[in-house]
């Protein structure tokens, strides 16, 4: 047999697999040759490969390693396809964890962040990622955030940013604004105080101005997963409906509501407003019970998930609303599930034909009226079950007997003709609130003057630099206590004025960093012609948890930059791959659960290639990956086998030229396997992104080589071709070991500059194919038939199989289905 067993080969010590040596040498070569630093080469096809940049939280965790490796595999594969590949890396460096660490350790957020960046960058280098570090970005650097301050000012000038009141979680004890995740069961995480909803003025970006464009373009984005596009469509939530005004008894101001179901208007039996609505406030002033209820409503956190899952509560305000068509009075309620920030803060309730209204009416004994009947004429009992389908109007006065469309149109017409409403489009999408009452973020470039109101900082005064050397207590933003920061002259009138101390949402930084990687050093413009060369990103990789917010904000910002003349592109990311989480024992790795696996330890023990290989082999990228220590050992074993197989082949001496015409059957079989594998793995890596099956196919090919016992000249030549193919095809996943083995196989050119292997179609040809034979859909036998046999011949051969005969004998063959090259199904 072929000698691949280390025991028998007695290899010198120097040829054993030592990952650390191999990896250090490869990494040194890449660094010294500057293999991954790229300029703009218009003669080559560019490929921009990008991973969502990490938050510098301290050390890399397995989730990072997974997504970084996925992106690296794609980058390296595309390079082998001859593309001009850029893969940059940087840091989403502003954010809350730095403030929390500052409170805990008495270290300024900046210092903590820069230390983490240093640590994580060295970990990334140890993993062998093909990054162009000359383009590194850290969003907390003024050179970076000055340009988003600049864009903010441009948007201000265009009316794309504006200020309005909105609700935050207020911790009355710590006197600070809390993030949703800092509110636990309605209480502050540190103070344990009951959180209040408080309205404060905040800055908003008008993403709704682009709502239709963001929605429509989704239909022309084939490189994005359908699931993400569907989530974004639903998030934008475009609905066509009617705005209707209802008079309120004893009030000047009418109540405006939006509905997509004006056909159900005659079924309105009550109305409801949010606790913050002026009518609720007014009633609260006169009625202690209402006041208590309104106060209770304000004492819950602002997250939609909380509001949707909590008990639906409400209370009549003692105010009547006049039904515009019947003139009937219906009661006005205040309800905890109506949101002031969504639509008009008021809703009309049709309990007969809306699930939530029906349950609320049942609970509070409000009347339920049927005004829609099923289109098929069947009877329903509206007291027993709600009916939400579209149907035919009944009990609707002059509007009876109409289908949805007719009823919608005639009622909408009436409101428009009487000046009491209008057809309108409503979006679930709300404008983006970007103000954060926090220190560790990019300062909002606004100055408040008593005379001139909010004035943007003049362009020439940018950046507004965040002071980095601060004492951080956790009680409000330290910026308020820095007079040199706060006290400024009004750029308009020169009077004493105050600087804005709120900072920008960190999603702002991550909404344009991808374009800045093209020109990170430009200090006179946000973007330049290099961005035009590299954008859009050809392959973007990141967690599915960003399916909506980050990806939608980035699509919005790309359009803002386009309309500012900075880019010709509307969409930032041509292809999107969303990777799953890394789990251990079925749960997300987290410090709380104590199930964290540190990549560092594994790299020290097995090397970076083993860690990379396991990550890519254990699951396809979109799926959650279950961690397994045994699986890692298996990957290490495979790499040792791989190494030893190549070494054993080399030890047997030089290899002659492959003469395809001189091969015997078994040599042809191995060569067919080689080229089948090249075809499959190319497809897995280039189209399907199923790295797990690509690795499995490489293992199969290596197993075939190991089992192949043929020391003849042609036997060794066929083995040589197979081993070279495996080395090339595994190299995107395990670049270090392949770098070393490629050189050992006698090549002068470093693997990183070698092209991907090509399929020799003639090697795939075969004379006989195996066909599966079924009887009534059950597997009963296999037959070997000529590859070019016609269906009749295949059918007859199938019928002749002895075991097939056992099930067919004495019965009439009713039908024979032949799937060429695959199977025959005989139906009796």
Partner RNA sequence: GCCGGGGUGGCGGAACUGGUAGACGCGCCGGAUUCAAAAUCCGGUUUCCGAAAGGAAGUGAGGGUUCGAUUCCCUCCUCCGGCACCA
* Residues within window 515-574 making contact with RNA, judged by CB under 7 A: 543-550
- The span from the CA of 189 to the CA of 181, in Å, is 9
Q: Does 820 bind RNA (CB under 7 A)?
A: no
Neighbours of 251 (CB within 10 A): 15
Least distance in Å: CB of 266 to RNA?
25
Least distance in Å: CB of 626 to RNA?
4
**Using CB under 7 A, which residues numbered 570 to 609 contact RNA?**
581, 586-588
Question: Which H helix or E strand runs over 161?
Answer: strand 161-171
Interface residue with RNA, options 42, 309, 524, 665 (CB under 7 A): 309
SS3 513: helix
Neighbours of 691 (CB within 10 A): 27
Residues contacting 65, CB < 8 A, separation 6+? 127, 599, 611, 612, 615
**Using CB under 7 A, which residues numbered 691 to 710 contact RNA?**
692-693, 695-696, 699-700, 703, 706-707
Q: Does 624 bind RNA (CB under 7 A)?
A: yes
Q: Does 311 bind RNA (CB under 7 A)?
A: no
Tokens of 620: 């396809």
**Closer residue to RNA in complex, CB, 35/549:** 549
Tokens of 123: 């970990």
Interface residue with RNA, options 308, 389, 413, 651 (CB under 7 A): 308
CB 231 within 8 A of CB 582: no
Annotate 309-327 with three-state secondary structure.
Answer: HCCCCEEEEEEEEECCCCC
- The span from the CA of 737 to the CA of 753, in Å, is 15
Interface residue with RNA, options 376, 398, 471, 630 (CB under 7 A): 630
How far, CA to CA in Å, does 294 sit from each of 187, 195, 196, 290, 298?
Answer: 18, 15, 12, 6, 6
Question: Which H helix or E strand runs over 786?
Answer: strand 778-786
**Closer residue to RNA in complex, CB, 59/495:** 59
Question: Which window, 346-354, 408-416, 431-439, 595-603, contacts RNA (CB under 7 A)?
Answer: 431-439
Least distance in Å: CB of 215 to RNA?
13
Residue 580 is given by DSSP the state -
Q: Does 417 bind RNA (CB under 7 A)?
A: no
Q: Does 638 bind RNA (CB under 7 A)?
A: yes
**Closer residue to RNA in complex, CB, 507/517:** 507
* Phi, psi dihedral angles at 531 (to 5 degrees): -70, -35
- The span from the CA of 414 to the CA of 265, in Å, is 12
Least distance in Å: CB of 805 to RNA?
11
Tokens of 725: 């193919």
Interface residue with RNA, options 618, 639, 751, 798 (CB under 7 A): 618
Give me the 78-107 binding string for RNA, x by CB under 7 A, dash otherwise: --------------x--xxx----------
Question: Which window, 111-119, 259-267, 300-308, 739-747, contacts RNA (CB under 7 A)?
Answer: 300-308
CB 4 within 8 A of CB 644: yes
Interface residue with RNA, options 180, 239, 299, 784 (CB under 7 A): 180
Question: Which window, 463-471, 667-675, 686-694, 718-726, contacts RNA (CB under 7 A)?
Answer: 686-694
Q: Does 811 bind RNA (CB under 7 A)?
A: no
SS3 210: helix
Torsion on CA atoms 422, 425, 430, 432, rounded to nearest 10: -100
Question: Which window, 30-38, 442-450, 655-663, 683-691, contacts RNA (CB under 7 A)?
Answer: 683-691
**Closer residue to RNA in complex, CB, 436/530:** 436
SS3 440: coil
Q: Does 428 bind RNA (CB under 7 A)?
A: yes
**Alpha helix locations (H) across 652-750?**
665-683, 691-707, 713-730, 735-744
Tokens of 800: 């002749």
Give me the 42-61 binding string for RNA, x by CB under 7 A, dash otherwise: -------------x------
Q: Does 370 bind RNA (CB under 7 A)?
A: no
Residue 466 is given by DSSP the state P
**Closer residue to RNA in complex, CB, 30/556:** 556
Looking at the chain, the number of H-run helices and the number of E-run strands are 28, 34
Count Cβ atoms within 10 A of the Cβ of residue 355 and give its class: 0-12 exposed, 13-18 middle, 19 or more buried.
exposed
**Closer residue to RNA in complex, CB, 491/686:** 686
Tokens of 181: 């995740």
Question: The dihedral of CA 510, 516, 520, 521: what is its sign?
Answer: negative
Least distance in Å: CB of 308 to RNA?
3
Interface residue with RNA, options 26, 70, 168, 280 (CB under 7 A): 168
Least distance in Å: CB of 353 to RNA?
15
DSSP structure string for 737-768: HHHHHHHHTT-SS-GGGPPPP---HHHH--SE
**Using CB under 7 A, which residues numbered 487 to 506 contact RNA?**
505-506
Question: Which window, 394-402, 514-522, 602-610, 636-644, contacts RNA (CB under 7 A)?
Answer: 636-644
Least distance in Å: CB of 43 to RNA?
33
Q: Does 7 bind RNA (CB under 7 A)?
A: yes
Q: Does 158 bind RNA (CB under 7 A)?
A: no
Q: Does 226 bind RNA (CB under 7 A)?
A: yes
Q: Does 620 bind RNA (CB under 7 A)?
A: yes
Q: Does 774 bind RNA (CB under 7 A)?
A: yes
Interface residue with RNA, options 11, 35, 772, 799 (CB under 7 A): 772
CB 69 within 8 A of CB 534: no
How far, CA to CA in Å, does 732 sit from each of 18, 72, 304, 530, 737?
Answer: 19, 7, 43, 27, 11
Least distance in Å: CB of 169 to RNA?
6
**Using CB under 7 A, which residues numbered 312 to 341 contact RNA?**
none
**Closer residue to RNA in complex, CB, 582/603:** 582
Interface residue with RNA, options 436, 516, 559, 649 (CB under 7 A): 436
Q: Does 164 bind RNA (CB under 7 A)?
A: no
Interface residue with RNA, options 320, 690, 731, 797 (CB under 7 A): 690
**Closer residue to RNA in complex, CB, 96/745:** 96
Interface residue with RNA, options 235, 414, 448, 533 (CB under 7 A): 235
CB 88 within 8 A of CB 517: yes
Interface residue with RNA, options 27, 259, 370, 435 (CB under 7 A): 435
**Alpha helix locations (H) across 127-158?**
142-157
Question: Which window, 233-241, 249-257, 594-602, 729-737, contacts RNA (CB under 7 A)?
Answer: 233-241
SS3 335: strand
- Overall size of the chain counted in residues: 828
CA-based radius of gyration for the chain: 34
**Closer residue to RNA in complex, CB, 393/437:** 437
């Amino acid at each position: 047999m072929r000698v691949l067993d280390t025991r028998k080969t007695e290899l010198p010590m120097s040829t054993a697999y030592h990952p650390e040596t191999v990896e250090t040498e490869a990494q040194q070569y890449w660094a010294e040759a500057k293999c991954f630093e790229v300029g703009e080469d218009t003669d080559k096809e560019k490929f921009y490969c990008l991973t969502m940049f990490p938050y510098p939280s301290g050390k890399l965790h397995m989730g990072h390693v997974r997504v970084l490796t996925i992106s690296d595999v794609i980058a390296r594969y595309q390079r082998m396809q001859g593309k001009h590949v850029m893969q940059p890396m940087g840091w989403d460096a502003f954010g809350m964890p730095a403030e929390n660490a500052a409170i805990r350790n008495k270290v300024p957020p900046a210092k903590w962040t820069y230390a983490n960046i240093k640590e994580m960058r060295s970990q990334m280098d140890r993993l062998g990622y093909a990054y162009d570090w000359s383009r590194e970005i850290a969003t907390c650097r003024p050179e970076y955030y000055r340009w988003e301050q600049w864009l903010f000012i441009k948007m201000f000038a265009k009316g794309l940013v504006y200020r309005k009141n909105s609700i935050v979680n207020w911790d009355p004890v710590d006197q600070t604004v809390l993030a949703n995740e800092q509110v636990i069961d309605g209480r502050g995480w540190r103070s344990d105080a009951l959180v209040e909803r408080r309205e404060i003025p905040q800055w908003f970006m008008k993403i709704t101005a682009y709502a239709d464009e963001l929605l429509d373009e989704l239909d022309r984005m084939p490189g994005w997963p359908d699931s993400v596009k569907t989530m974004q469509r639903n998030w934008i939530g475009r609905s066509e409906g009617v705005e209707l005004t209802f008079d309120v008894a004893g009030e000047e101001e009418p109540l405006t509501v939006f509905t997509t179901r004006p056909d159900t208007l005659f079924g309105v039996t009550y109305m409801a407003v949010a606790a913050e609505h002026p009518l609720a406030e007014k009633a609260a002033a006169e009625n202690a019970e209402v006041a208590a209820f309104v106060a209770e409503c304000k004492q819950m956190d602002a997250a939609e998930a909380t509001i949707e899952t909590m008990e639906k509560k409400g209370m009549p305000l003692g105010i009547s609303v006049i039904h515009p068509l019947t003139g009937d009075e219906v009661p006005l309620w205040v309800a905890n599930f109506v949101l002031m920030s969504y639509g008009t803060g008021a809703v009309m309730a049709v309990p007969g034909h809306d699930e939530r209204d029906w349950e609320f009416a049942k609970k509070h004994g409000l009347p339920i009226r049927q005004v829609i009947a099923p289109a098929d004429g069947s009877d329903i009992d509206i007291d027993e079950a709600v009916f939400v389908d579209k149907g035919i109007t009944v009990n609707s006065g002059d509007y009876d007997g109409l289908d949805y469309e007719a009823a919608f149109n005639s009622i909408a017409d009436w409101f428009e003709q009487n000046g009491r409403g209008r057809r309108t489009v409503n979006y679930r999408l709300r404008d983006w609130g970007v103000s954060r009452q926090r220190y560790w973020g990019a300062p909002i470039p606004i100055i408040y003057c008593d005379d001139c109101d909010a004035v943007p900082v003049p362009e020439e005064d940018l950046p507004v630099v965040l002071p980095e050397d601060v004492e951080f207590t956790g009680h409000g933003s330290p910026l308020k206590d820095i007079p040199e920061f706060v006290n400024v002259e009004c750029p308009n009138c020169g009077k004493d004025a105050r600087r804005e101390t709120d900072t920008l949402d960190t999603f702002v930084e991550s909404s344009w960093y991808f374009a800045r990687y093209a020109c990170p050093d430009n200090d006179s413009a946000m973007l330049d012609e290099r961005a035009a060369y590299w954008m859009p990103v050809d392959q973007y990789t990141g967690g599915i948890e960003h399916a909506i917010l980050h990806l939608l904000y980035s699509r919005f910002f790309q359009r803002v930059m386009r309309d500012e003349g900075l880019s010709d592109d509307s969409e930032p990311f041509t292809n999107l791959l969303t990777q799953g989480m890394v789990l251990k024992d079925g749960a997300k790795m987290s410090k709380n659960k104590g199930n964290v696996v540190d990549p560092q330890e594994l790299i020290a023990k097995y090397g970076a290639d083993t860690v990379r290989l396991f990550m890519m082999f254990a699951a396809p990228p979109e799926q959650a990956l279950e961690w397994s220590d045994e699986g890692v050992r298996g990957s290490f074993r495979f790499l040792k086998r791989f190494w030893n197989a190549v070494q054993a082949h080399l030890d047997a001496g030089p290899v002659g030229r492959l003469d395809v015409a001189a091969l015997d059957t078994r040599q042809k079989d191995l060569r067919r396997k080689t080229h089948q594998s090249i075809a499959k793995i190319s497809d897995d890596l280039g189209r399907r992104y199923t790295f797990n099956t690509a690795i499995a196919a490489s293992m199969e090919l290596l197993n075939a080589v190991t089992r192949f016992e043929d020391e003849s000249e042609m036997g060794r030549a066929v083995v040589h071709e197979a081993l070279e193919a495996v080395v090339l095809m595994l190299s995107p996943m395990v670049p270090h070991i392949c770098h070393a083995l490629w050189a050992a196989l006698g090549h002068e050119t470093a693997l990183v500059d070698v092209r991907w292997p090509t399929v020799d179609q003639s090697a795939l040809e075969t004379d006989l194919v195996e066909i599966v034979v079924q009887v009534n859909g059950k597997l009963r036998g296999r037959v070997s038939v000529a590859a070019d046999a016609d269906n009749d011949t295949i059918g007859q051969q199938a019928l002749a199989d002895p075991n097939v005969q056992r099930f067919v004998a004495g019965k009439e063959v009713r039908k024979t289905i032949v799937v060429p090259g695959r199977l025959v199904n005989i139906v009796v």
